[in-house]
Amino acid sequence: ANIPVLCIDGPTASGKGTVAAAVAARLGYHFLDSGAMYRVTALAATRAGLAIAPEQEAAIAALARTLPVRFLDGRVLIGEDDVTDAIRTEEAGMNASRVSALPAVRDALVALQHGFRRLPGLVADGRDMGTVIFPGADLKVYLTASAQTRAERRHQQLLAKGIPAKIADLRADLEARDLRDSSRPVAPLKPAQDALVLDNSTATIEQSVAQVVSWWQGKR
Residues forming contacts to ligand C5P in the complex (CB under 6 A) are 12, 34-35, 38-39, 93, 96-97, 100, 126-128, 177, 181
Concatenated DSSP letters for 3-72? --EEEEE--TTSSHHHHHHHHHHHHT-EEEEHHHHHHHHHHHHHHTT--SSGGGHHHHHHHHHH--EEEE
Least Å distance, CB 216 to ligand C5P, is: 20
172 marked ligand binding residue: no
Q: How far is the CA of 54 from the CAs of 57, 101, 112, 165, in angstroms?
A: 5, 9, 22, 31
* Count of all residues that appear for the chain in the document: 220
Least Å distance, CB 121 to ligand C5P, is: 18
Name, in order, each residue with C-beta under 8 angstroms of 89's C-beta and a sequence gap of 6 or more. none
Least Å distance, CB 175 to ligand C5P, is: 12
Measured from the CB atom, is 198 or 218 closer to ligand C5P?
A: 198
15 marked ligand binding residue: yes
Measured from the CB atom, is 35 or 121 closer to ligand C5P?
A: 35
Nearest position to ligand C5P, beta carbon = 35
17 marked ligand binding residue: yes
Name, in order, each residue with C-beta under 8 angstroms of 79's C-beta and a sequence gap of 6 or more. 68
204 marked ligand binding residue: no
11 marked ligand binding residue: yes
- Which residue numbers belong to the known binding site for ATP? 10-18
Binding-site residue numbers are 10-18
